[in-house]
Amino acid sequence: MTETPLPDTIADLLGVGGFLGEAISMLLAAAIVGTIMLTMTAFAGPWAKRKITASFTDRISVNRIGPWGLGTIIVDAVRLLSKELIIPENVDRPAYDLAPIVLAGSAILAFAVIPMGNGIHLADPEVGLVFVFAIASIASLGLLMGGYSSNNKYSLLGGLRAVAQNIAYEIPLVLTAASVVLFTGSLQMSEIVAIQQNTTLATIAGVRIPAWFAFVNPFAFVLFLVANLAEVGRNPFDTPEAPTEIVAGYQTEYSSAYFVLFYLGEFVHIFLGGAIIATLFLGGPGGPFLPGFVWFTIKIWAVYIFTQWCRSAIPRVRIDQLIGIGWKGMLVLSFANLVLTAAILGVTGL
C-alpha cells in the first residue's frame, strides 16, 4: 500500500522537474496539508470544542453567527488578532517571542510524515515514527521558554509543570509506540499502516477484521491513550495550565496573536496526538467503503472527542500525583508491555 507522496503527485500534475520544480511542488503540497490541518484544528476544532463541551454540560453554546454558530470562530479570530499585543516589562525578549512559534510550529511540522490517506502524505522517511516523536517533544521546549521568559511566577510554575509532565509521560509514550514497532519491524509510517491493513486478525461472519494494533494489543492502546492525554495536557492531566490554580500557567502573560498561536499550537497538538493514535493503533486511513482521508479524519476526531469528554468529566490530578502516576505507574506498565510483547513475539516467532 505504498502511495505516491503528495509532492511527487503535484510535480507530475504540473509537469515540472529538476530541483526548482521539486521545491515548488514540495511547497505546494505542504501548503495543502497545512491548510487541511489548520482548517480542522483552528476552525472546526475550537467550534467543536465549544459544542461538544456544551452538550456534555447541558448547554447550547454558540448559535448566533452563521449556521450552527460556525461564524463565531471567524469573529473570534478577528477579535483575538485585533487586540493589543501586550508585552510585559522585563520579559526575556527572543525567548518570549519564539515560544508560541515553537509550540505551533513543532506540532504542524510533525504532520509532514503522517499518512492521511488518498495520497495526502508529504514525506515518508524510514525513521518516520522517531521523527514524529522528536518534533512533537520540541513543544515542551516552547512551553518552558514561554513560562520562563514571561517574568511571571504563575508562568514559571506552569512552564516547570509542563516540562516535568512531558518528561514523565514522553517515556511511556515512546516505549508503548516501540511495542508497535516490534510488530511491524519498521519505523516507516506507511509501512506501519500497511501492515495493520493487510494483516487479518480474524474473520467474523465473512467480515475481515484487520489487525489494527488497538485490537492486537488493547493494553498498549489504553496506555498510549492515557499518556497522550498527559502529553497534550488535557484533564485529568491539565496541570500546566490549571486555570483555577495557576491562572493559565505558561500562557498567562500572552495576548493577541501570541495567544492565538499558543491556543492554536495546543489544538494542533491534540490533533497530532489523534493522528499518531490513528496511525499507530487504528490503521491510519484504512477502513471500508469511505475514502481513506475521510476515515483518517473520523479517527482523529474520535480521539479529539475523547479528550473533550475527559476534560468535561474528570477532575484534574494534583501535580505530585501526576508525576507519581507517570514514573511509578505508566513507566512500569509500559516497560512490562514492551518486554511482554517482545517475549511473545520471540516465542511465537511472528
Please identify, using beta-carbon distances, which residue of 104 and 164 lies nearer to another protein: 164
Q: Cβ(134)–Cβ(293) under 8 Å? A: no
Which residues inside 267-326 make contact with another protein, applying CB under 8 A? 311-321
Which positions from 37 to 56 touch another protein by CB under 8 A, shown as an x/- string?
A: -------------------x
Q: Give me Rg for the CA atoms of the chain.
A: 21
Q: How far apart are CA 147 and CA 253, in angstroms?
A: 9
Using CB under 8 A as the binding rule, whether residue 90 contacts another protein is answered as no
Q: Which of 94, 185, 218, 243 binds another protein (CB under 8 A)?
A: 243
DSSP track, 212-262: -HHHH-HHHHHHHHHHHHHHTT-TTS-TTT-HHHHTTGGGTT--HHHHHHH
Q: Does 58 bind another protein (CB under 8 A)?
A: yes
Scanning 189-197, 214-222, 234-242, 341-349 for contacts with another protein by CB under 8 A, the matching segment is 234-242
Contact 180, 220 (CB under 8 A): yes
Give the whole-angstrom CA distance, residue 281 versus residue 266: 22
Size of the site for another protein (CB under 8 A): 28
Residue 91, C-alpha cell as written in the block:
520579559
What is the distance between the alpha carbons of residues 28 and 22, in angstroms, rounded to a whole number?
A: 10
Q: Restricting to residues 140-159, which ones interact with another protein according to CB under 8 A?
A: 153-154, 157
Which span (141-149, 245-253, 263-271, 279-287) binds another protein, by CB under 8 A? 245-253
| Complex with another protein: residue 2 or 55, whichever CB lies closer | 55
CB of 314 to another protein, least distance (A): 6
| Amino acid at site 260 | V
Q: Are 176 and 223 in contact (CB under 8 A)?
A: yes
Minimum CB distance to another protein, residue 265 (Å): 18
Q: Which is nearer to another protein, 67 or 315 (CB)?
A: 315
Query: Which position has the grid cell 512559534?
Result: 101
Of the two residues 180 and 246, which places its CB atom closer to another protein in the complex? 246
Whole-angstrom distance between the N-terminal and C-terminal Cα of the chain? Answer: 21
Nearer to another protein (CB atom), residue 203 or residue 244: 244
- Using CB under 8 A, list all residues that contact another protein: 56-59, 153-154, 157, 235-236, 238, 241-247, 311-321
